[in-house]
Protein backbone atom coordinates (compact mmCIF):
# COMPACT_ATOMS: atom_id res chain seq x y z
CA UNK A 1 0.00 0.00 0.00
CA UNK A 2 1.41 3.41 -0.73
CA UNK A 3 0.54 7.02 -0.07
CA UNK A 4 2.29 9.36 -2.47
CA UNK A 5 3.58 12.89 -2.25
CA UNK A 6 3.34 15.73 -4.71
CA UNK A 7 5.17 19.01 -4.94
CA UNK A 8 3.78 22.01 -3.15
CA UNK A 9 4.39 25.52 -4.47
CA UNK A 10 7.70 26.76 -3.18
CA UNK A 11 8.39 30.42 -2.60
CA UNK A 12 12.15 30.11 -2.83
CA UNK A 13 13.99 30.36 -6.09
CA UNK A 14 15.75 27.25 -7.37
CA UNK A 15 18.62 29.49 -8.43
CA UNK A 16 21.32 29.18 -5.81
CA UNK A 17 25.04 29.52 -6.03
CA UNK A 18 25.35 25.96 -7.27
CA UNK A 19 23.27 26.74 -10.30
CA UNK A 20 25.51 29.64 -11.21
CA UNK A 21 28.72 29.42 -13.17
CA UNK A 22 31.90 30.47 -11.37
CA UNK A 23 33.01 33.62 -13.16
CA UNK A 24 36.80 33.55 -12.88
CA UNK A 25 38.70 31.70 -15.62
CA UNK A 26 40.41 28.46 -14.62
CA UNK A 27 42.77 25.79 -15.86
CA UNK A 28 41.85 22.28 -14.77
CA UNK A 29 44.81 19.92 -14.79
CA UNK A 30 43.89 16.24 -14.65
CA UNK A 31 46.68 13.89 -13.60
CA UNK A 32 45.84 10.40 -14.84
CA UNK A 33 44.03 11.82 -17.84
CA UNK A 34 44.31 8.65 -19.91
CA UNK A 35 42.72 6.60 -17.13
CA UNK A 36 39.35 5.10 -16.57
CA UNK A 37 37.97 7.73 -14.16
CA UNK A 38 38.63 10.53 -16.65
CA UNK A 39 36.70 8.62 -19.30
CA UNK A 40 33.83 7.50 -17.12
CA UNK A 41 33.33 10.45 -14.78
CA UNK A 42 35.54 13.53 -15.11
CA UNK A 43 35.27 14.31 -18.82
CA UNK A 44 31.51 13.52 -18.88
CA UNK A 45 30.93 15.75 -15.84
CA UNK A 46 32.95 18.63 -17.30
CA UNK A 47 31.17 18.30 -20.62
CA UNK A 48 27.74 18.31 -18.98
CA UNK A 49 28.67 21.37 -16.91
CA UNK A 50 29.94 23.12 -20.02
CA UNK A 51 26.74 22.23 -21.91
CA UNK A 52 24.70 23.75 -19.10
CA UNK A 53 26.90 26.87 -19.09
CA UNK A 54 28.02 26.09 -15.57
CA UNK A 55 31.74 26.42 -16.25
CA UNK A 56 33.38 29.85 -16.38
CA UNK A 57 33.31 31.49 -19.78
CA UNK A 58 37.02 31.05 -20.17
CA UNK A 59 38.55 27.75 -19.07
CA UNK A 60 41.00 25.10 -20.23
CA UNK A 61 41.35 21.41 -19.39
CA UNK A 62 44.88 20.06 -19.52
CA UNK A 63 45.15 16.28 -19.43
CA UNK A 64 48.40 14.97 -18.02
CA UNK A 65 49.57 11.36 -18.08
CA UNK A 66 52.45 9.12 -19.08
CA UNK A 67 51.15 7.86 -22.43
CA UNK A 68 52.36 9.84 -25.41
CA UNK A 69 49.20 11.30 -26.97
CA UNK A 70 48.56 14.19 -29.32
CA UNK A 71 45.93 16.78 -28.41
CA UNK A 72 43.81 15.35 -31.21
CA UNK A 73 44.06 11.78 -29.94
CA UNK A 74 43.24 12.97 -26.40
CA UNK A 75 40.16 14.82 -27.63
CA UNK A 76 39.02 11.77 -29.59
CA UNK A 77 39.47 9.61 -26.50
CA UNK A 78 37.43 11.96 -24.35
CA UNK A 79 34.73 12.21 -26.97
CA UNK A 80 34.21 8.46 -26.64
CA UNK A 81 34.04 8.74 -22.86
CA UNK A 82 31.59 11.63 -23.05
CA UNK A 83 29.41 9.92 -25.67
CA UNK A 84 29.22 6.76 -23.56
CA UNK A 85 28.86 8.26 -20.09
CA UNK A 86 27.73 11.89 -20.04
CA UNK A 87 24.19 13.01 -19.29
CA UNK A 88 24.47 15.55 -22.08
CA UNK A 89 25.96 13.98 -25.21
CA UNK A 90 28.37 15.65 -27.67
CA UNK A 91 26.57 18.11 -29.98
CA UNK A 92 23.32 17.75 -28.01
CA UNK A 93 23.42 21.18 -26.41
CA UNK A 94 26.95 22.28 -27.20
CA UNK A 95 28.92 21.71 -30.40
CA UNK A 96 31.59 19.14 -29.56
CA UNK A 97 34.25 21.36 -31.20
CA UNK A 98 33.53 24.16 -28.73
CA UNK A 99 34.33 21.82 -25.83
CA UNK A 100 37.15 20.01 -27.63
CA UNK A 101 38.94 23.32 -28.25
CA UNK A 102 39.37 23.69 -24.51
CA UNK A 103 41.15 20.35 -24.19
CA UNK A 104 44.86 19.76 -24.52
CA UNK A 105 47.31 17.14 -23.38
CA UNK A 106 50.80 16.91 -21.94
CA UNK A 107 52.74 13.69 -21.58
CA UNK A 108 54.90 13.65 -18.44
CA UNK A 109 56.85 11.35 -16.16
CA UNK A 110 55.07 11.66 -12.80
CA UNK A 111 58.34 11.35 -10.94
CA UNK A 112 60.51 13.33 -13.34
CA UNK A 113 61.46 16.81 -12.19
CA UNK A 114 61.89 18.21 -15.72
CA UNK A 115 58.34 17.23 -16.58
CA UNK A 116 57.07 19.69 -13.98
CA UNK A 117 59.05 22.48 -15.64
CA UNK A 118 57.23 21.63 -18.86
CA UNK A 119 53.98 21.66 -16.94
CA UNK A 120 54.84 25.05 -15.44
CA UNK A 121 55.52 26.46 -18.91
CA UNK A 122 52.29 25.08 -20.29
CA UNK A 123 50.34 26.49 -17.36
CA UNK A 124 51.94 29.89 -17.75
CA UNK A 125 50.92 29.93 -21.42
CA UNK A 126 47.36 28.84 -20.69
CA UNK A 127 46.99 31.33 -17.85
CA UNK A 128 48.24 34.14 -20.08
CA UNK A 129 45.69 33.14 -22.73
CA UNK A 130 42.86 33.06 -20.19
CA UNK A 131 43.97 36.18 -18.39
CA UNK A 132 43.98 34.61 -14.92
CA UNK A 133 46.08 32.23 -12.89
CA UNK A 134 43.53 30.00 -11.18
CA UNK A 135 44.50 26.34 -11.36
CA UNK A 136 42.71 23.23 -10.15
CA UNK A 137 44.90 20.11 -9.98
CA UNK A 138 42.96 16.84 -10.00
CA UNK A 139 44.81 13.69 -8.91
CA UNK A 140 43.23 10.67 -10.54
CA UNK A 141 46.33 8.49 -10.70
CA UNK A 142 47.15 5.31 -8.78
CA UNK A 143 47.38 6.44 -5.13
CA UNK A 144 51.09 5.65 -4.74
CA UNK A 145 51.74 8.60 -7.08
CA UNK A 146 49.92 11.17 -4.93
CA UNK A 147 52.90 11.97 -2.72
CA UNK A 148 55.48 12.30 -5.51
CA UNK A 149 53.14 14.44 -7.64
CA UNK A 150 52.34 16.77 -4.74
CA UNK A 151 56.03 17.10 -3.83
CA UNK A 152 56.96 17.90 -7.44
CA UNK A 153 54.17 20.47 -7.74
CA UNK A 154 55.54 22.13 -4.61
CA UNK A 155 59.16 22.01 -5.78
CA UNK A 156 58.18 23.52 -9.16
CA UNK A 157 56.44 26.39 -7.36
CA UNK A 158 53.06 25.39 -8.76
CA UNK A 159 51.15 25.09 -5.48
CA UNK A 160 50.83 28.83 -5.01
CA UNK A 161 50.32 31.87 -7.19
CA UNK A 162 50.46 35.57 -6.48
CA UNK A 163 47.60 36.34 -8.82
CA UNK A 164 45.21 33.41 -8.61
CA UNK A 165 44.13 30.45 -6.50
CA UNK A 166 45.55 26.93 -6.54
CA UNK A 167 43.52 23.96 -5.37
CA UNK A 168 44.06 20.23 -5.42
CA UNK A 169 41.49 17.44 -5.60
CA UNK A 170 42.62 14.05 -4.33
CA UNK A 171 40.70 10.92 -5.28
CA UNK A 172 40.09 8.03 -2.95
CA UNK A 173 41.61 5.85 -1.59
CA UNK A 174 43.17 8.39 0.75
CA UNK A 175 45.62 6.07 2.52
CA UNK A 176 45.54 2.34 3.09
CA UNK A 177 45.25 2.53 6.85
CA UNK A 178 45.55 5.13 9.61
CA UNK A 179 49.35 5.37 9.45
CA UNK A 180 49.48 5.84 5.67
CA UNK A 181 46.57 8.33 5.73
CA UNK A 182 48.42 10.37 8.34
CA UNK A 183 51.61 10.24 6.30
CA UNK A 184 49.75 11.33 3.17
CA UNK A 185 48.03 14.19 5.00
CA UNK A 186 51.39 15.34 6.34
CA UNK A 187 53.01 15.16 2.90
CA UNK A 188 50.19 17.11 1.24
CA UNK A 189 50.24 19.71 4.04
CA UNK A 190 53.93 20.30 3.35
CA UNK A 191 52.89 21.78 0.02
CA UNK A 192 49.21 22.83 0.22
CA UNK A 193 47.23 24.47 3.01
CA UNK A 194 44.14 22.57 4.19
CA UNK A 195 41.88 25.19 2.53
CA UNK A 196 43.40 24.27 -0.84
CA UNK A 197 42.77 20.53 -0.46
CA UNK A 198 39.61 18.75 -1.66
CA UNK A 199 39.56 15.04 -0.70
CA UNK A 200 36.79 13.66 -2.82
CA UNK A 201 34.19 11.08 -1.83
CA UNK A 202 31.73 10.96 -4.69
CA UNK A 203 28.89 9.77 -2.41
CA UNK A 204 28.78 13.26 -0.93
CA UNK A 205 28.01 14.62 -4.39
CA UNK A 206 24.91 12.46 -4.79
CA UNK A 207 21.69 14.49 -4.61
CA UNK A 208 20.06 12.08 -2.21
CA UNK A 209 23.02 12.21 0.17
CA UNK A 210 22.88 16.00 0.26
CA UNK A 211 19.17 15.70 0.82
CA UNK A 212 19.89 14.00 4.14
CA UNK A 213 20.80 17.45 5.41
CA UNK A 214 17.56 18.95 4.15
CA UNK A 215 15.43 16.08 5.38
CA UNK A 216 16.92 16.31 8.85
CA UNK A 217 17.44 20.03 9.23
CA UNK A 218 14.74 21.71 7.15
CA UNK A 219 11.91 19.73 8.75
CA UNK A 220 10.79 20.02 12.33
CA UNK A 221 8.97 16.70 12.46
CA UNK A 222 11.86 14.25 12.31
CA UNK A 223 14.45 15.83 14.56
CA UNK A 224 12.57 15.35 17.87
CA UNK A 225 12.43 11.61 17.13
CA UNK A 226 15.99 11.32 15.86
CA UNK A 227 17.60 9.92 18.99
CA UNK A 228 17.88 6.99 21.39
CA UNK A 229 14.42 7.64 22.87
CA UNK A 230 12.60 6.81 19.64
CA UNK A 231 15.10 5.09 17.36
CA UNK A 232 15.64 1.38 17.76
CA UNK A 233 18.51 1.07 15.29
CA UNK A 234 19.89 2.43 12.05
CA UNK A 235 20.84 0.27 9.10
CA UNK A 236 23.08 1.44 6.31
CA UNK A 237 23.31 -0.75 3.22
CA UNK A 238 25.61 -0.07 0.29
CA UNK A 239 24.98 -3.10 -1.90
CA UNK A 240 26.31 -3.64 -5.39
CA UNK A 241 25.16 -6.19 -7.92
CA UNK A 242 28.43 -6.11 -9.87
CA UNK A 243 31.56 -8.08 -9.00
CA UNK A 244 35.10 -6.72 -9.02
CA UNK A 245 35.23 -6.82 -12.82
CA UNK A 246 38.60 -5.85 -14.24
CA UNK A 247 39.74 -4.19 -11.01
CA UNK A 248 40.80 -7.43 -9.30
CA UNK A 249 44.42 -6.30 -8.89
CA UNK A 250 43.43 -3.14 -7.02
CA UNK A 251 40.54 -4.71 -5.16
CA UNK A 252 42.53 -7.62 -3.79
CA UNK A 253 44.77 -5.13 -1.96
CA UNK A 254 41.82 -3.02 -0.82
CA UNK A 255 38.76 -5.16 -0.03
CA UNK A 256 35.32 -3.87 0.83
CA UNK A 257 36.22 -1.98 4.00
CA UNK A 258 38.84 0.20 2.30
CA UNK A 259 36.88 0.44 -0.94
CA UNK A 260 33.42 1.29 0.42
CA UNK A 261 33.11 1.42 4.19
CA UNK A 262 35.94 3.66 5.43
CA UNK A 263 34.69 6.33 3.03
CA UNK A 264 31.21 6.05 1.50
CA UNK A 265 29.39 4.14 4.24
CA UNK A 266 30.95 6.12 7.09
CA UNK A 267 30.04 9.36 5.32
CA UNK A 268 26.41 8.19 5.27
CA UNK A 269 26.67 7.30 8.93
CA UNK A 270 28.09 10.66 9.98
CA UNK A 271 25.43 12.58 8.04
CA UNK A 272 22.71 10.45 9.62
CA UNK A 273 24.03 10.78 13.16
CA UNK A 274 25.48 14.29 13.39
CA UNK A 275 24.11 17.21 15.37
CA UNK A 276 22.62 20.14 13.45
CA UNK A 277 25.47 22.33 12.16
CA UNK A 278 25.08 26.02 12.98
CA UNK A 279 25.51 27.01 9.33
CA UNK A 280 25.81 25.45 5.93
CA UNK A 281 29.52 25.90 5.44
CA UNK A 282 32.53 23.65 5.25
CA UNK A 283 33.76 24.35 8.77
CA UNK A 284 30.46 23.94 10.60
CA UNK A 285 29.42 20.87 8.64
CA UNK A 286 32.71 19.08 8.94
CA UNK A 287 33.07 19.93 12.62
CA UNK A 288 29.83 18.07 13.29
CA UNK A 289 30.84 15.08 11.19
CA UNK A 290 34.13 14.88 13.02
CA UNK A 291 32.33 14.80 16.36
CA UNK A 292 30.39 11.71 15.25
CA UNK A 293 33.57 9.97 14.18
CA UNK A 294 35.16 10.86 17.50
CA UNK A 295 32.17 9.35 19.28
CA UNK A 296 32.22 6.07 17.34
CA UNK A 297 33.06 3.40 19.89
CA UNK A 298 36.58 2.16 19.34
CA UNK A 299 36.96 -1.57 19.06
CA UNK A 300 39.94 -3.72 19.84
CA UNK A 301 41.20 -6.09 17.14
CA UNK A 302 40.25 -9.00 19.43
CA UNK A 303 36.60 -7.84 19.34
CA UNK A 304 36.46 -7.97 15.54
CA UNK A 305 34.68 -11.33 15.56
CA UNK A 306 31.88 -10.01 17.77
CA UNK A 307 31.11 -6.81 15.89
CA UNK A 308 31.87 -7.67 12.28
CA UNK A 309 31.42 -10.26 9.56
CA UNK A 310 33.69 -10.60 6.56
CA UNK A 311 32.90 -12.69 3.52
CA UNK A 312 33.70 -13.43 -0.09
CA UNK A 313 31.48 -14.38 -2.99
CA UNK A 314 31.84 -17.94 -4.13
CA UNK A 315 29.72 -20.11 -6.40
CA UNK A 316 30.17 -23.71 -7.37
CA UNK A 317 29.52 -23.01 -11.02
CA UNK A 318 29.50 -19.25 -11.19
CA UNK A 319 31.40 -16.13 -10.28
CA UNK A 320 33.92 -16.73 -7.55
CA UNK A 321 36.14 -13.98 -6.20
CA UNK A 322 39.24 -16.17 -6.01
CA UNK A 323 38.92 -16.92 -9.70
CA UNK A 324 38.66 -13.26 -10.77
CA UNK A 325 41.41 -11.81 -12.95
CA UNK A 326 44.19 -10.25 -10.85
CA UNK A 327 43.06 -11.92 -7.60
CA UNK A 328 45.22 -14.28 -5.55
CA UNK A 329 43.57 -17.74 -5.78
CA UNK A 330 43.98 -18.05 -1.99
CA UNK A 331 42.92 -14.50 -1.27
CA UNK A 332 41.38 -13.74 2.11
CA UNK A 333 40.16 -10.31 0.96
CA UNK A 334 36.57 -9.57 1.92
CA UNK A 335 34.13 -8.60 -0.81
CA UNK A 336 31.38 -8.23 1.81
CA UNK A 337 31.40 -6.82 5.30
CA UNK A 338 28.82 -6.19 7.96
CA UNK A 339 29.65 -4.12 11.04
CA UNK A 340 27.82 -3.25 14.21
CA UNK A 341 28.86 0.18 15.44
CA UNK A 342 27.86 2.44 18.30
CA UNK A 343 28.00 6.21 18.54
CA UNK A 344 28.85 6.91 22.15
CA UNK A 345 27.22 10.25 22.73
CA UNK A 346 24.13 11.59 24.42
CA UNK A 347 21.88 11.30 21.38
CA UNK A 348 22.75 7.79 20.28
CA UNK A 349 23.71 5.88 23.41
CA UNK A 350 22.74 2.22 23.01
CA UNK A 351 21.44 2.51 19.43
CA UNK A 352 23.22 0.09 17.09
CA UNK A 353 24.27 1.30 13.65
CA UNK A 354 24.45 -1.74 11.38
CA UNK A 355 26.50 -1.15 8.25
CA UNK A 356 26.90 -3.58 5.36
CA UNK A 357 28.38 -3.45 1.90
CA UNK A 358 29.29 -6.02 -0.68
CA UNK A 359 29.85 -6.90 -4.31
CA UNK A 360 27.70 -9.28 -6.35
CA UNK A 361 24.72 -9.01 -4.04
CA UNK A 362 21.09 -9.46 -5.00
CA UNK A 363 20.57 -5.92 -6.20
CA UNK A 364 22.25 -2.54 -6.36
CA UNK A 365 20.89 -0.41 -3.57
CA UNK A 366 22.21 2.20 -1.19
CA UNK A 367 19.87 3.01 1.64
CA UNK A 368 19.59 4.17 5.19
CA UNK A 369 16.82 2.69 7.30
CA UNK A 370 15.94 4.38 10.56
CA UNK A 371 13.90 1.88 12.59
CA UNK A 372 11.75 3.46 15.24
CA UNK A 373 10.79 1.76 18.49
CA UNK A 374 7.50 -0.02 18.91
CA UNK A 375 4.65 1.52 20.86
CA UNK A 376 5.01 0.81 24.58
CA UNK A 377 1.67 -0.97 24.79
CA UNK A 378 -0.34 -2.38 21.91
CA UNK A 379 -4.05 -2.77 22.36
CA UNK A 380 -4.72 -4.19 18.90
CA UNK A 381 -4.35 -7.73 17.68
CA UNK A 382 -0.70 -8.36 17.02
CA UNK A 383 -0.98 -8.78 13.28
CA UNK A 384 2.39 -7.29 12.80
CA UNK A 385 4.02 -9.10 15.66
CA UNK A 386 6.66 -10.04 13.10
CA UNK A 387 10.17 -8.92 13.74
CA UNK A 388 9.63 -5.84 11.55
CA UNK A 389 8.56 -2.78 13.52
CA UNK A 390 5.78 -0.74 11.91
CA UNK A 391 7.62 2.58 11.83
CA UNK A 392 10.69 3.07 9.73
CA UNK A 393 12.07 5.84 7.61
CA UNK A 394 13.76 4.42 4.55
CA UNK A 395 16.04 6.81 2.74
CA UNK A 396 16.74 5.39 -0.69
CA UNK A 397 19.98 6.91 -1.89
CA UNK A 398 20.08 4.94 -5.17
CA UNK A 399 18.91 3.68 -7.58
CA UNK A 400 15.20 4.31 -6.78
CA UNK A 401 15.88 7.66 -5.20
CA UNK A 402 13.24 8.56 -2.69
CA UNK A 403 12.05 8.35 0.88
CA UNK A 404 9.52 5.97 2.43
CA UNK A 405 7.88 6.34 5.81
CA UNK A 406 5.96 3.35 7.07
CA UNK A 407 3.21 3.42 9.65
CA UNK A 408 0.26 1.34 10.82
CA UNK A 409 -3.32 1.85 9.73
CA UNK A 410 -6.53 0.03 10.40
CA UNK A 411 -7.25 -2.68 7.91
CA UNK A 412 -10.77 -1.87 6.60
CA UNK A 413 -13.48 -4.22 7.73
CA UNK A 414 -14.64 -5.86 10.88
CA UNK A 415 -12.40 -5.90 13.90
CA UNK A 416 -9.39 -3.71 14.53
CA UNK A 417 -6.65 -5.32 12.56
CA UNK A 418 -3.62 -3.32 11.59
CA UNK A 419 -1.68 -3.08 8.37
CA UNK A 420 1.61 -1.31 7.71
CA UNK A 421 1.45 1.19 4.85
CA UNK A 422 4.05 3.31 3.16
CA UNK A 423 4.14 7.03 2.48
CA UNK A 424 6.38 7.69 -0.45
CA UNK A 425 8.35 10.52 -1.98
CA UNK A 426 10.08 9.69 -5.24
CA UNK A 427 12.45 11.98 -7.07
CA UNK A 428 11.41 10.66 -10.44
CA UNK A 429 7.71 11.29 -10.08
CA UNK A 430 8.03 14.54 -8.13
CA UNK A 431 10.98 16.20 -9.86
CA UNK A 432 11.02 14.40 -13.19
CA UNK A 433 14.44 15.48 -14.38
CA UNK A 434 17.34 13.13 -14.33
CA UNK A 435 19.44 13.77 -11.24
CA UNK A 436 22.81 15.47 -11.67
CA UNK A 437 25.86 13.23 -11.50
CA UNK A 438 27.86 13.44 -8.28
CA UNK A 439 31.01 14.51 -10.11
CA UNK A 440 29.24 17.45 -11.73
CA UNK A 441 28.28 18.87 -8.38
CA UNK A 442 31.66 18.19 -6.79
CA UNK A 443 33.69 19.66 -9.64
CA UNK A 444 31.57 22.77 -9.56
CA UNK A 445 32.09 23.07 -5.81
CA UNK A 446 35.86 22.90 -6.21
CA UNK A 447 35.72 25.74 -8.74
CA UNK A 448 33.57 27.75 -6.36
CA UNK A 449 35.89 27.05 -3.45
CA UNK A 450 33.26 25.26 -1.39
CA UNK A 451 34.75 22.31 0.50
CA UNK A 452 31.59 21.38 2.42
CA UNK A 453 31.16 18.14 0.50
CA UNK A 454 34.80 17.08 0.81
CA UNK A 455 36.58 15.28 3.63
CA UNK A 456 38.86 17.23 5.94
CA UNK A 457 42.16 15.76 7.13
CA UNK A 458 40.90 14.95 10.65
CA UNK A 459 37.76 13.35 9.23
CA UNK A 460 39.83 11.01 7.07
CA UNK A 461 42.12 10.02 9.92
CA UNK A 462 39.25 9.40 12.32
CA UNK A 463 37.45 7.20 9.82
CA UNK A 464 40.58 5.10 9.45
CA UNK A 465 40.80 4.96 13.22
CA UNK A 466 37.35 3.34 13.24
CA UNK A 467 38.09 0.62 10.69
CA UNK A 468 41.77 -0.06 11.42
CA UNK A 469 41.24 -2.28 14.50
CA UNK A 470 38.63 -4.31 12.65
CA UNK A 471 40.97 -4.83 9.71
CA UNK A 472 43.74 -5.78 12.12
CA UNK A 473 41.47 -8.29 13.82
CA UNK A 474 40.66 -9.77 10.44
CA UNK A 475 44.33 -9.99 9.51
CA UNK A 476 44.96 -11.83 12.76
CA UNK A 477 42.23 -14.30 11.78
CA UNK A 478 39.95 -13.22 14.64
CA UNK A 479 36.85 -13.16 12.43
CA UNK A 480 36.64 -16.20 10.17
CA UNK A 481 36.13 -15.55 6.47
CA UNK A 482 32.58 -16.52 5.46
CA UNK A 483 31.27 -17.13 1.94
CA UNK A 484 28.09 -16.11 0.15
CA UNK A 485 26.31 -17.00 -3.04
CA UNK A 486 26.54 -14.38 -5.76
CA UNK A 487 23.12 -12.80 -6.14
CA UNK A 488 22.20 -13.32 -2.48
CA UNK A 489 21.96 -10.72 0.30
CA UNK A 490 25.27 -11.89 1.77
CA UNK A 491 26.40 -14.59 4.18
CA UNK A 492 24.30 -16.30 6.84
CA UNK A 493 26.74 -14.95 9.42
CA UNK A 494 25.59 -11.38 8.69
CA UNK A 495 22.01 -12.38 9.47
CA UNK A 496 23.22 -13.97 12.66
CA UNK A 497 25.00 -10.77 13.68
CA UNK A 498 21.61 -9.04 13.75
CA UNK A 499 19.64 -12.04 14.99
CA UNK A 500 21.69 -11.88 18.20
CA UNK A 501 19.98 -8.51 18.77
CA UNK A 502 16.58 -9.79 17.67
CA UNK A 503 16.80 -7.83 14.43
CA UNK A 504 16.83 -8.54 10.69
CA UNK A 505 18.38 -6.71 7.77
CA UNK A 506 15.84 -4.58 5.99
CA UNK A 507 16.33 -3.98 2.31
CA UNK A 508 13.74 -1.30 2.65
CA UNK A 509 13.91 0.21 -0.83
CA UNK A 510 13.65 -3.13 -2.58
CA UNK A 511 10.44 -3.97 -0.71
CA UNK A 512 8.44 -0.94 -1.85
C1 LIG B 1 33.84 3.35 -5.78
C2 LIG B 1 34.40 1.96 -5.51
O3 LIG B 1 34.33 4.27 -4.86
O4 LIG B 1 32.42 3.30 -5.67
C5 LIG B 1 33.79 0.93 -6.45
O6 LIG B 1 35.80 1.99 -5.68
C7 LIG B 1 32.28 0.98 -6.40
O8 LIG B 1 34.24 -0.38 -6.14
C9 LIG B 1 31.79 2.43 -6.59
O10 LIG B 1 31.76 0.15 -7.42
C11 LIG B 1 30.30 2.51 -6.35
O12 LIG B 1 29.85 3.78 -6.69
P13 LIG B 1 28.31 4.05 -7.06
O14 LIG B 1 28.24 5.52 -7.23
O15 LIG B 1 28.04 3.26 -8.30
O16 LIG B 1 27.52 3.52 -5.90
Q: Pick 509 or 497 by higher pLDDT.
A: 497
pLDDT value of position 6:
66
Per the residue annotation, which of 176, 202, 264, 404 is the catalytic one? 264
Between 71 and 386, where is the model more confident? 71
Among candidates 355, 303, 330, 362, which has minimal Cα distance to 484?
A: 362
The response to whether residue 201 sits with its C-beta less than 6 Å from ligand 1 reads: no
Ligand 1 atom closest to the CA of 201, numbered from 1? 3
Assess whether pLDDT exceeds 70 at residue 13. Answer: no
Please spell the DSSP secondary structure of 51-107, one letter per residue.
Answer: HTT-S-SSEEEEEEESS---HHHHHHHHHHHHHHH-SS-TTTSS-HHHHHTTEEEEE
- pLDDT score at 14: 41
Please check the confidence at residue 386 and state whether its pLDDT lies above 90.
Answer: no
Q: List pLDDT tens digits, range 408-429.
A: 999 899 888 888 899 999 999 9
Residue 382: band (very low, low, confident or very high) from pLDDT cuts 50, 70, 90: low
Distance 361 CA to ligand 1 centre (A): 14
CA of 344 to the centre of ligand 1 (A): 29
**Phi and psi angles of residue 138, each rounded to the nearest 5 degrees, phi first:** -120, 115
Question: Which has more confidence, 382 or 183?
Answer: 183
Helix, strand, coil share of the chain (percent; to 5): 40, 20, 40
Structural contact between residues 367 and 508, judged by C-beta atoms closer than 8 angstroms: yes
Phi, psi at 424, each rounded to 5°: -120, 140
pLDDT score at 20: 73
Band of residue 358 on the pLDDT scale cut at 50, 70, 90: very high
**Torsion-angle region of 439 (φ positive above 0: left; ψ -120 to 50: alpha; else: beta):** alpha
- Mean pLDDT check: name the lowest of 113-117, 213-217, 387-391: 387-391
Cα–Cα distance measured from residue 408 to residue 323, given in angstroms and rounded to the nearest whole number: 47
Please give the pLDDT value at position 11: 41
For the segment 451-498, what is each residue's pLDDT rounded down to a tens digit? 999 999 999 999 999 999 999 999 999 999 999 999 999 999 999 999
Q: How much is the mean pLDDT over the chain?
A: 94
What pLDDT was estimated at residue 234?
Answer: 98
Across the strands, what pairs with 417? none
pLDDT tens digit string along 425-436? 999 999 987 899
pLDDT for the residue numbered 248: 96
Q: Residue 264 catalytic?
A: yes
With a 6 Å cutoff on the Cβ, whether 461 touches ligand 1 is: no
pLDDT range class, residue 378, cuts 50, 70, 90? confident
pLDDT above 60 for 156: yes
What angle in degrees, to the nearest 10, is found between the helix axes of 43-51 and 438-448? 70
Q: Which residue's alpha carbon is at the smallest distance from atom 8 of ligand 1?
A: 259
Ligand 1 atom nearest the C-alpha of 259 is 6
Whether the Cβ atoms of residue 90 and residue 47 lie closer than 8 Å to each other: yes
12: confidence class by pLDDT, cuts 50, 70, 90 = very low
CA–CA dist 272, 27 (Å, integer): 36
Amino acid sequence: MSVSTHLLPNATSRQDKNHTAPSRPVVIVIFGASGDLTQRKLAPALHTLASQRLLPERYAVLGVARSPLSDEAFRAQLREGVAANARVKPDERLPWETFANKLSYLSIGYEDRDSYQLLAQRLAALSAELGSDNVLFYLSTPPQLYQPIVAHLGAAGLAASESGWRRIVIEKPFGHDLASARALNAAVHEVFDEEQIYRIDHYLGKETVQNLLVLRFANAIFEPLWNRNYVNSVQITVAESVGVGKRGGYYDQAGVVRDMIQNHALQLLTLSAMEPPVALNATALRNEKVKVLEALRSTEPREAGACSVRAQYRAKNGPTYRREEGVDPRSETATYAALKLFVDNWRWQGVPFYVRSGKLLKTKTTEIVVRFKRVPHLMFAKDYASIRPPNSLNICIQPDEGIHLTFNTKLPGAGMRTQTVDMTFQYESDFGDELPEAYERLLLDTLQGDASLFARSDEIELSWQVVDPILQGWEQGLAPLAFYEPGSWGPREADELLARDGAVWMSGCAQF
